[in-house]
Each structure stands twice: as C-alpha cells, then as structure tokens.
A and B are shown apart, each in its own frame.
Chain A
C-alpha cells in the first residue's frame, strides 16, 4: 500500500503568503472558479474547492444543484467553460477552440490525469463484455501498461477486499447491483488513483444493497484515501467525511466540517435540505 504523508516533515519553512503556482506538498486536488453551462442553463456558477491528501469531502445538494457536473468537470467528462482544475498540483491546460468553446489543450494530458482519478458512477458502467476480473485489470494492463500477472494478483487482492472474489469470473450482468458497484470500486482502485470520485454511488441500488457499498467506501475513508463523494446519504456523509459542501444552484452555499454543515448550518436552505433528507 502507498504511504501518504499526513502533515509529515517538510523541508524549509513555507512562505507566509503562497506564491502564485506554489503548491503544498499534500494538495491532491484543486478546483478554482469552475463554470459550466449546458445551453442557456448555467449549472456551475463559479465553484472552488481544495482537497488535501486524506480528505474525504462529501458533496450534497438537491438534484440539479450541479454536484454531478462538478465531479464530471474534474476529470473532464464535461469540459468546463471556465476555471482551473489541478490534480496533484498539475494544471489541466485549456484552450479556446475555433468555435469559441474551451477544450483541453492536450488530450493525452487529460488521459494521463484521468488515470490518476478513480471514478465510480451511479450506474456502475462496468464493461459488459468483460468478466469482473477482466474489468479490474483492463486499465492497469492497457492504460498503465503494467505486467499482466502483477495486475491479476493485485486485482484478486482488491476483489477480496471488496468482498466479491468469488465473482471474478462472472460477467457484470450476472451480479447484483451492490456487487456490480463494488466491482466498479475495485476497477477504480486498481489504478491506484490519487483521488477517488464517487458520483452518487448508491442512488441506483435497491435499499437493501446500499449498506454493502457504503461499508466498502467507509473502509477506504478509514485507510486515508482522498475522496470526493457526491451522495444523498446524509447520515453516511456526515459519518465518513471530514469536510462537507452543500451546493445550491451551481454555487457552494455552505462548506465546513460535517458537524457544522449537517448539524448547525448557517444557511437556511442547507438546514431545510438536510432536514428533508434525514
């Protein structure tokens, strides 16, 4: 397992005011003033957030508040209209195309950065023509180009950890939703991502299957993994996160430690949202 530095010893004293472009060694992800519109509908109206290594950030909000779009803009599944995304200090370079729309300057940089972000989707999106094991080793073998035997050994360990080792030779269609989502988490973990992005990981599950997926995510949080979790599971979010963000109509309406956001929010809208979701 990788070592993660939690406020470890740093050489030299940091400057009192961080210089432009300077980064703290533990910064895993940084988003600055993200804007995104679909047609005339402005979904993100300037969202900024920072995640340091080991942070578990819960993102909550009503549907249409922009939480999924925010997550999808971070790995460029949606291309933001304006703003900056940095992963591990590396800025995703953008340019304006001939049609006036912004686009990544270098697709291979985007591909490389994506491989450092583990995305878990609401609808699992396992590759249906591959077995569970093949799903898990696909990206390590073909994107990261690591030796297959090593990837298989790791995949077996990960599948064991998420509790579906016995399903490794099955195809996704033959698994329950909860098992598929755990397989999808295993697929993301196999890339050894710097940051995990969860996009409503339990919203498509039958209620009795939610628990098994949340258990896996909680375990990852306890290991100190950096994660952004978009979720409607308020209780879970409160328990597992060390920071929470409430999005409302494309803006961050409330942000802070979970005790504050979930227990004593300053925003009236946030308070109402949480009350209606408990």
Chain B
C-alpha cells in the first residue's frame, strides 16, 4: 500500500495529478468536440448539399478509422506541418514539436465531435416541428428561435447521448499516453515499470477511471432529470 501513498516513497500524488491531467484533456476535448458537433450537425441539417457532403465525410472518416490511428496522424502530421511552417517562415531549423496536451485534446475533440454530430443532429430532429413553427409564428427571428426554443430543447434530447460521448472521450484519453502526455495511463505505465508491480498500478488506474466515469454518469443523470422537467414520461 505504501506504493500508492502520497509523497516521495509512493506514487499517490503522481497518480492524483495524472488524474487531473486526464480530466483536463477530456474536458477540453469534449467541449471542443461539442463545437465541432454543433457545426457538424448544422451542416448535416443544412439545405446545401455540399455542406451535408462535408459533414458526412467527416463523420464517416472519424467513426470509421481507429482512434489510435487518428491520434498518430495528428501527432506526426501536426508536428510535420508545424515544423515545416516554422522552418519556412519563422526561421527555425530542425524538428519543432507541439505540446502533447494540445495535440491530444485536438485529436480527441475531432473524434468526439464526430459522435456529437450525430447525437446533436438526432436531438434537433427530435424537436416537435410544430413547436418550431409556433416560434416562427410569434415573430421570433432565427437567432431568437435558436436561443430560446431550439437549443434548450435540443440539449435535453441530446443529454443522454452526450453522456456517452463524454465517457468515450474520457476513455480515449488513455490513447494519447502514446504521445508522452502524463495522464493516468502513462503515469501507471511509468510506475509499473520502475516498481516492477504492473498489476498494482494498472488496477489503480482502472479504479481511477471508474471513479471518474461513475461520478460523471451521476452528474449526467442529474442534468437529465433536471432537463426533463415537464416531459411526459413513458
């Protein structure tokens, strides 16, 4: 148990900060993913065929390619691009790396954005058409209709699905340990290697992930209950 204690002898504090890192990457990725998801859903519901085609391409690729591969593509592709730009215009020479946090959060955001796109699109389509029509009939502008009627209603239809997307994003952060970012997975691997006690640390990591997912499931459940006020329950 000493291995998991706080301070110099144990890995407790390291694991704690790694958990915070996991949460930070997951949160940043999820929120950015919501932005991508909203744009994606808007594109999919657009009148313009070319916007729909772009959004279809986005979700097809991101949901059809292994997540780890996307992260590699981002990490190496992103670094190569930044190196090229920096060498060409900023007068640097040689390899320029990108912050592992930024690249990791971005990669997971792109991935979770693809899932959010489908969730948000479904939620918008679930809003009774008549309620949108009633909003137009009282003279609401498009912006007001979006803010007062569409967004709050879409959110409540989307919440259960977004809970899933969040959970996925949280677990996908384990994949960005390959970029060297010290989150739960990476920290457990380091600790396992230096103490020769892999099972202990991977079990500890599993518990940490479970704590995070359980807490967030509870939080999403609360939010769902709150948002479902006034809904007839089946």
Binding site for B on A (CB under 8 A): 75, 77, 107-108, 111-117, 119, 121, 123-131, 138-139, 142-143, 171-174, 184, 187-188, 191
Contacts and interface: CB of A to CB of B under 8 A. Distances in A.
Main SS of the interface on chain B?
A: helix
Nearest to B149: A127
A232 B185 CA distance: 68
B128 A111 contact: no
B98 to A, nearest CB: 42
Interface in B219-234: 229-232
Interface of B: 128, 130-131, 133-142, 144, 148-149, 152-153, 156, 229-232
Nearest to A188: B138
B139 to A, nearest CB: 3
B135 to A, nearest CB: 7
Contacts of A113: 139
A174 B232 CA distance: 7
Given A131-B230, A171-B229, A172-B230, A142 B148 contact: yes
A129 B135 CA distance: 13
Contact of B131 (A115, A128, A188): A128
A128 B138 contact: no
Contacts of B136: 77, 114
Contact of A125 (B133, B139, B229): B133
A114 B144 CA distance: 14
Interface centre among B134, B135, B142, B152 (most CB of A within 10 A): B134
A128 B230 contact: yes
A174 B230 contact: yes
Interface centre among B131, B138, B139, B231 (most CB of A within 10 A): B138
A125 B140 contact: no
A139 B149 CA distance: 11
A128 B153 contact: yes
Contacts of B148: 138, 142
A131 to B, nearest CB: 7
B100 to A, nearest CB: 41
Given A77-B133, A121-B130, A128-B128, A139 B153 contact: no
Given A142-B140, A172-B230, A129 B134 contact: no
Contacts of B156: 129
Given A128-B128, A143-B144, A114 B230 contact: no
Contact of B153 (A107, A108, A121, A129): A129
A161 B136 CA distance: 25
A139 B137 CA distance: 10
B160 to A, nearest CB: 16
Contacts of B128: 125, 128
Contact of B137 (A77, A130, A142): A77
Given A173-B230, A174-B230, A125 B138 contact: no
Contact of A123 (B130, B139, B153): B130
